[in-house]
Amino acid sequence: MTVLPRSAVDRRTVLLAGLSAGAGAVAAAALPVGASAADTYFQHGVASGDPLPGGILLWTRVTPTPESIPASGAGPQVDVTWQVATDAGFAGVVQSGTVSTGPARDHTVKVDVSGLSAATTYWYRFGLAGTWSSVGRTMTAPAATDAVARLRAGVVSCANWEAGYFAAYRHLAERGDLNLVVHLGDYLYEYGTGEFGAAGKVVRKTAPEHETVSLADYRTRHAQYKTDPDLKALHASVPWIITWDDHEVANDMWSGGAENHTPGAEGDFSTRVAAARQAYAEWMPVRLAADGHIYRRLRYGDLFELSMLDLRTYRSEQADGAGVDDPARTIAGAAQLSWLTDGLVNSTALWKIVGNPVMISRLDVLALPAWLLGPLGELIGVPQNGVVLNADQWDGYNADRERLVDTLRAHRTKDVVFITGDIHTSWANELTTKDTGTADPAAAEFVVPSVTSDNINDYLGTGAGGPLSLLAAGLIRSTNPHVKWVETDGHGFGVLDITRTRCRMDWYHLADRTRKDTAAKWVQGWSVGRGSAKIRKESAPS
């Protein structure tokens, strides 16, 4: 597939040909900065999400009067103008309209724009009272049958406000070569101030200062996150595809409760879930189905299809011991698991990518020492008695995992890659079960670190990259031969680079999550080739 000079192609061809240099030039174009009035009306930035071949979802939040602060329930109903253009100066406006918002939806605005061209870069903005917001840049997806040579996505998870600054988002926004961002959950955390900081230290206080339980609480927390300048910059630079994990409601959530929910003292759990989900629907650039479900599938030409999962809403309560093998227990729910397996088996895309909130690869811990089991238990739910499971991840729901893997093997479905968050650490795995054995993995899995949330060295109370952390990583690999690489200390992000012949993840770690200006460095790269689930180590990208 020929890569042409940028001067010879339009924006559609740039995406279809995978011209990273041209895409970088587009991303680096200066976005107009709003005036002070824009900062008053549009305090929470702009965002786009869920790109389709002919459409995109646009988001903002307006503060029309001083009393119209988030969660206040105050302020007037207002009409907000929106525009989509083919240039950053808005000389070529191709779609526009007006949408009404008010206190009932916390003055948030979501516009599902259609009638756009496929695989095209657009700029968008919102207007109120004669003032325009800052300008966002977005891209539509290629048509399903288009031959796409390459796509690059930022991959992130677990951004805890009190544990540091969102420099990972800044570094992604500054790259200039991304087509989208995939967020795998824990976009925010529900804890009150001081309950989950940076190794016990609060870097910056969360709002509200108490744990989020009510609709007003969740709205306030979402609003605070969207004042972060690095988060705002990344939202404005590329479209996001997002799913939720547990902390968008409460830690270790399952369908009927959560570890961090106390019935009575914190009210009815279903009421809390409804409040959290309403705030999420208002404040996030994501399409939810009419019944509220978030699992969905998006496609980028013939190159890949992305299945985004919800592994909290339908799951059975976490269990220990023999309960993890109970075929009646589920992590995905019967309907979603069927949707996932059918989609993977029948997909005509070259790559089948699964946005997977919690790790699907096995983690056998029976041979690990107590000093490591303690921090693992704190971090990812491994029982400290040494039982061989991680009850909050797919390890706690063996039947669902085996149904999925057995279906892939029965249909000889290849080129499946799970991209995973949740456990705050970096992993490159081959997906195996007791039936596959390590010689015949069913899929690859790439796990990205947290943006800021604590990991192994924080629980051990040691410095990052110290002897205990290196020993821990070695012990995990020796006990789990399907784990080809694990790094237990770094915070940062991943970059997924997909071509027609291979799918590669590169990991970047921050020097210091507690510093706004912290640097990031490349630490590892792993890839899987077409037709194989065996992964291989890569050198640093050129």
What are 470-473's contacts with CB under 8 Å, separation 24+? 472/372, 472/375
Per the domain annotation, does 145 fall within a domain?
no
CA–CA distances in Å: residue 509 to residues 56, 123, 520: 31, 30, 5
Q: What is the pLDDT of residue 183?
A: 99
Structural tokens at position 439: 């010689």
Give the DSSP letter string of 302-360: TTEEEEE---SSSPPPP--GGGGG-TT--SS-HHHHHHHHHHHHH--SSEEEEEESS--
CA–CA distances in Å: residue 165 to residues 154, 197, 202, 231, 529: 17, 11, 11, 10, 35
Q: What is the mean pLDDT of each run of 10 residues along the chain (542 residues)?
A: 28 38 30 57 98 98 97 98 98 98 98 98 97 98 97 98 98 98 98 96 98 98 98 98 98 97 96 98 97 97 98 94 87 98 98 98 70 60 45 92 95 98 96 79 97 89 81 86 95 98 98 97 98 97 90
Same domain, 227 and 268: yes
Domain residues for 43? 31-139
d(CA 137, CA 234): 10
CA–CA distances in Å: residue 78 to residues 60, 62, 74, 508: 13, 9, 12, 43
Predicted TM-score (pTM) of the model is: 0.91
Same domain, 103 and 204: no
Same domain, 480 and 521: yes
Same domain, 275 and 127: no
Same domain, 133 and 185: no
Per the domain annotation, does 309 fall within a domain?
yes
DSSP H or E stretch at residue 270: helix 269-283
Same domain, 221 and 83: no
Same domain, 453 and 370: yes
What are the backbone dihedrals phi and psi of residue 521, each rounded to the nearest 5 degrees, phi first? Answer: -135, 150
Structural tokens at position 3: 């890569």
* Beta strands 121-128 and 78-85, pairing class: antiparallel
Q: Last residue of a domain, which of 139, 169, 200?
A: 139
Same domain, 238 and 313: yes
Give the other-Cβ count within 10 Å of 200's Cβ.
11
Residue written as token pair 């060295």: 457
Same domain, 107 and 229: no
* Beta strands 483-487 and 492-499, pairing class: unpaired
Per the domain annotation, does 426 fall within a domain?
yes
Same domain, 54 and 174: no
Geometric angle at alpha carbon 376, from 374 and 381, rounded to 5°? 100
Same domain, 333 and 186: yes
Which residues, at least 6 apart from 1, have a Cβ–Cβ distance to it below 8 Å?
17, 18, 147, 149, 500
Q: What is the pLDDT of residues 348-370, one digit of tens each?
A: 999 999 999 999 998 876 655 55
Q: What is the pLDDT of residue 468?
A: 80
Per the domain annotation, does 289 fall within a domain?
yes
Per the domain annotation, does 144 fall within a domain?
no
Q: What is the pLDDT of residue 440?
A: 86
315: exposed, middle or buried (Cβ count in 10 Å: 0-12, 13-18, 19+): buried
- When divided into structural domains, the chain yields a total of 3
Residue 363 sits in a domain whose CATH number is 3.60.21.70
Residue 111 sits in a domain whose CATH number is 2.60.40.380
Per the domain annotation, does 172 fall within a domain?
yes
d(CA 296, CA 20): 27
Per the domain annotation, does 303 fall within a domain?
yes
Q: What is the pLDDT of residue 266?
A: 97
Q: What is the dihedral of CA 286, 291, 296, 300, to 10 degrees?
A: -60
Same domain, 224 and 271: yes
Structural tokens at position 127: 């207007």
d(CA 522, CA 420): 19
Give the other-Cβ count within 10 Å of 249's Cβ.
25
Q: Which amino acid is at 197?
A: G
